[in-house]
Structure 1
């Protein structure tokens, strides 16, 4: 199988959209990611997967803390900014604070983590994060499927 076929197959799994942030020397750094999942309830752990070429990788390793912001359906532009699709707009993003860490206002969930372990697998590093605080909001999620942003459809009976 070639790389494109693998990517297309993985794109058939609908995911939520997150922005992973970390802060280093007073500057917030972040990237859009859909490689995120919960790992454990006791202790409360999550994992994010960061590519070896991502600019966020060395910053996250040094900071040893990160936040996961699960985006709402009206936050596609935020996702695109942190995915590098809307250049020169990162400066327009404002942040709130949770446990002293930068989080994205309006995100459905803001999850603050301390890195408890790192595992290099293939061309990514998996960061296991011990959850130290969470803030929740009501709303619908931003969804990504088959290379496109989507929203949930209302169930009709």
Structure 2
């Protein structure tokens, strides 16, 4: 899946060409199909489906033949999610065509739904204030803040978080397609 997040943009200063946009659109569809294959029953993924999703997100940022450091697996998970989401968000800058933007929005919404469905065992927190930019008619929150993932129970009320300001769950990981 790592190769699918490579963004085609042969015309660097003028944005992607029509051919590049078409390649990027095919890649977005392929990513969505892979995420659908990870959980055949889209209403109730199994623990195995969720584990496969977690491992996919953890490995998406690794180079070929690179070994994952298990101590950093949740850092890899967050990087993978951010990389995948960034690939989809970048598409909003490619065109002003409302028909194409509608398709990009549907793809993005599907991605967020799959992340929420398959990532239910993982709690991703943002430390610090987010910023919001607008892509087309869609406000997109991007994270200047530090993101951390934890498997298992909600950690928000633990000692690690109690002294920190501006700690919150990352909205696009809990069902809010921002």
Report the TM-score, using the length of structure 1 for normalisation. 0.26
Q: Bigger relative contact order, structure 1 or 2, given CA contacts below 8 A and separation 6+?
A: 1
More helix by share: 2
More strand by share: 1
Report the TM-score, using the length of structure 2 for normalisation. 0.24
Structure number with greater Rg is: 2
